[in-house]
Structure 1
Amino acid sequence: MSDAPPSTKRKRTELVSSTTAPLVRSKIWKPYGDIILQAESTQFRVTRDILAEQSSVFRDMFSVPQPLNEPTIEGCPIVHVSDTAKDWELFLEILYNPFQSTVSRPYAVVASMLRLGKKYDMPAPKDDALRRIHAEFPATLELYDEKLATIDDEDDLYVHLLNLLYECRVYSAIPLLGLTCLSNERLESLALAVSRDTFVTLAIALERLLNFQSEKRLSWLHGNALIPHKSCNSRKACANQQMAINHSINGKEKYPFHLHYVIGDWHPEWSGKFCEVCEAAAREHYAASRQKGWELLPTFFGLPKWEALKDVD
């Protein structure tokens, strides 16, 4: 049986990997299965109906009569796929155990659903993966304030996700995820974990983010243009609090960079530090600059603004 995709028939010698790794039978080996999927050197016995129901690619392939002289295993034709065995193992486990669905899934499962869902035109798993990604890294400030944890936390999760989003062209989640990566990872660590093009994008974004954070979001802590307010009745006390907050922020370790002020909300510990007039002025400035930071966030990563930023199928 032909590879999937493409559906064009190729010689048997072309279907087999050039490696000599022995074939392995997966734990997903259904006794009533009527098709053998082979990914790398691992074979899965499944029913073609479950694949055809999910995927138009497999549905179209199975509708074409196959030559009678194709090799089989236990009477089942073999379909060679070019994906990793791990992706298929995780994906098939989800297909055969739908009632084990949880609010949160491991990254590897989400990645397999997205990769295979996009490649084989399987809307259900693809959309499930995208919903989870967008719930964690939304495209609106309102959803960001309410974001949910739908992907299990693990080491290097953000870097793995960033590579996945670029691979699968899920661009609308990259701005927030990129910011998260830069806030949690050292730049030299990122250089070893992402492609050169992605690293250049991150390095440029970091400079832009730091400039925006200092010159826009935290500008109310610099000089006296905003604090003390012209109507302030405790100018010295408010000026001292301004200096103290500025020192507490700029006195922190710079690496990894503290970028949560780029789109962060008003910090509760700042409340009550100033007179009512100065605090109101600071809050107003901080809220307006927060909205501006969110609007500009995609552009820091070389992407279009939110309204024009789309994922690519």
Structure 2
Amino acid sequence: MEGCPMVVLHDAPEDTEYFLKAIFDSSFFERPPAPTTIPVVSRILRLSTKYDVGYLRRRALLHLASASPLSLEEYDAMSSTSTFGIKSSFLQLLLADDLGIKWAMPIAMFKVSCSLTIEQILSGVPPTFHLPPSLQRTCLSARNTLIFAQGHDTFCFVHVMDNPGCTNQDQCRSTRSLLLYALTKREILRPMGYFPSSWWEDIDPQELCGACCREGRIQYEEGRRRIWDRLPEMFALPSWEDLRAAREADLARPE
């Protein structure tokens, strides 16, 4: 066209724009920890996979891995490691599912199941993004499991009526009742985190005595670990060990 060779691409204009920017402008899409966004990661990863551009695909996978923890320790650090924030689980899940990147799916499925309402899981993000029926069923099924796990594992301490070492039975019982009420009335689940470390350290001894606080924190942390260990099973995914091996294999490929 006008004396220049032309190639016809059957890709979305937005995808092609980001892909070409990443190729011709090195500052547009740098390696982690440089910040980016999930739309940029998604579009570059899709086309770099399609056209076999190894260095860009690996770079996009590194960004995806920054928000795809495969251990509880990585999960707890995700807010500081993710290069595109922690509120992109819906698009992250669609990307991982479309490209078959299973190691990026557990946390995305977990967050979709917990942070979205049932109606949002079913209706998607109008007008463009919708989960396929198979993922909808998996997330809704896991949501029911997580509702039970939240009460039975992470927050089991709020159901305890009396702690033998308690020094203020009436007040501690009242505090646990208030916590239980706060948990049961929430439509958004928090099975992996509701009380940060600072909460346990700063809690008023008049609200929860030292013995109840120590026992509650132990049960809370043990419950989080039990839920984390079962997440792949809840979402019908391979084990954590297999997912870690798959991630290592993907990220070890030369650029």
TM over 0.5: yes
Match of 1:135 in 2: 66
Which consecutive residues of structure 1, in runs of 5 or more, have no partner in the other structure?
Answer: 1-71
Task: Name the CA shift for 1:243/1:152 in 2 (closer, same or farther; >3 Å).
Answer: closer
One-letter amino acid of the structure 1 residue matched with residue 27 of structure 2: F
**Within 5 A, what are the aligned runs for 1:151-166?**
151=84, 157-166=88-97
Is this contact kept in 2: 1:133–1:173, CA < 8 A?
yes
**Within 5 A, what are the aligned runs for 1:225-264?**
228-252=162-186, 254=187, 257=188, 259-260=189-190, 262-264=191-193
CA distance in 2, matches of 1:223, 1:285: 11
Structure with bigger gyration radius: 1
Any idea what SS the aligned residue of 1:212 has? helix
Please state how far the C-alpha of 1:82 moved relative to its aligned partner.
Answer: 3.8
Please state how far the C-alpha of 1:306 moved relative to its aligned partner.
Answer: 0.9
1:237-273 Cα distance to aligned partner (Å, 9 max, x none): 2212211211222233x2xx2x22x211634445333
1:85-125 Cα distance to aligned partner (Å, 9 max, x none): 32121110111111244622232221122112222222221
Match of 1:266 among 195, 200, 208: 195
Greater percentage in helix: 2
Match of 2:50 among 107, 110, 119: 119
One-letter amino acid of the structure 1 residue matched with residue 149 of structure 2: F
One-letter amino acid of the structure 1 residue matched with residue 23 of structure 2: L
Match of 2:126 in 1: none
CA distance in 2, matches of 1:278, 1:138: 31
Is this contact kept in 2: 1:135–1:150, CA < 8 A?
yes
Match of 1:92 among 17, 20, 24: 20
Is this contact kept in 1: 2:45–2:60, CA < 8 A?
yes
CA distance in 1, matches of 2:37, 2:192: 27
Please state how far the C-alpha of 1:168 moved relative to its aligned partner.
Answer: 1.0
Amino-acid identity (%): 23
Please state how far the C-alpha of 1:230 moved relative to its aligned partner.
Answer: 1.3
Task: Name the CA shift for 1:128/1:246 in 2 (closer, same or farther; >3 Å).
Answer: same
CA distance in 2, matches of 1:151, 1:84: 22
CA distance in 1, matches of 2:226, 2:194: 13
Is this contact kept in 1: 2:49–2:57, CA < 8 A?
yes
CA distance in 2, matches of 1:237, 1:152: 39
One-letter amino acid of the structure 2 residue matched with residue 125 of structure 1: L
- TM-score scaled by structure 2? 0.80
CA distance in 2, matches of 1:234, 1:115: 58
One-letter amino acid of the structure 2 residue matched with residue 196 of structure 1: P
Match of 1:196 in 2: 133
Is this contact kept in 2: 1:114–1:129, CA < 8 A?
yes
- Highest relative contact order (Cα 8 Å, sep 6+), 1 or 2? 2
Which consecutive residues of structure 2, in runs of 5 or more, have no partner in the other structure?
Answer: 124-129, 251-255
CA distance in 1, matches of 2:241, 2:91: 26
Task: Name the CA shift for 1:73/1:195 in 2 (closer, same or farther; >3 Å).
Answer: farther
Match of 1:145 in 2: 76
Is this contact kept in 1: 2:114–2:143, CA < 8 A?
no
Any idea what SS the aligned residue of 1:266 has? coil
Task: Name the CA shift for 1:73/1:169 in 2 (closer, same or farther; >3 Å).
Answer: farther
Q: Say if 2:17 is the partner of 1:83.
A: no
Match of 1:178 in 2: 109
CA distance in 1, matches of 2:182, 2:4: 71
